[in-house]
Amino acid sequence: MRLQVKAHHGHLSDSVRAYAEKRLSKLDRRLHDATLVELTLSREGNPSIPDDHTAEAIVYTKGPNLVAREAAATYEAAIDRLVDKLERQLERYREKRRLEPRREAARGRQQASEPTPAEGSEPESVGGSELETDADEAAA
């Protein structure tokens, strides 16, 4: 996993950067080595907003990109919430990639095992009603 930590409107202290790297390294065992994770930390300038520290992460995967955003009173709390959210998203993404091909294969086996009507025979309702109509017209 490749991690990029960015600060929006300012700079980050080394302790916050190290904390983010430590917490996001937890995702490393679930991701491929070449996967890029981009973390952006920002802070609101409005003093009336209590959760003014925001952490946003984008995980660039083969399929859809996973995006999560969390806000808290400190960067550390926001990062903790963000990592929890990303873990849930990654687990769901991995389960879908693992189970969906199996579901498709099971559907294919189920459709193949169903009996198909013989190719030469016509459905009874269509053939029978046309013959009866022709016979009625000839008799009249």
| Overall size of the chain counted in residues | 140
Which tokens belong to 22?
């430590």
39 neighbors 20 (Cβ within 8 angstroms): yes
Q: Residue 51, CB half-sphere, CA atoms under 13 Å: how many?
A: 11
What's the domain count of the chain?
1
- Reported as a single tens digit per residue, the pLDDT across 51-97 is 999 999 999 998 899 999 999 999 999 999 999 999 999 999 989 88
> What is the per-residue pLDDT for 102?
78
* Coil/strand/helix, residue 41: strand
**Confidence band (pLDDT; 50, 70, 90) for 106?**
confident
- Asked if residue 125 is part of any domain, the answer here is no
Please give the residue range of the domain that contains residue 19. 2-110
Residue 54 lies in a domain: yes
Q: Judge whether 83 lies within some domain.
A: yes
CATH of the domain at 103: 3.30.160.100
The predicted-structure confidence for 39-60, as pLDDT tens digits, reads as follows: 999 999 888 999 999 999 999 9
Say if 82 falls within a structural domain. Answer: yes
For the entire predicted model, the pTM comes to 0.70
34: in domain: yes
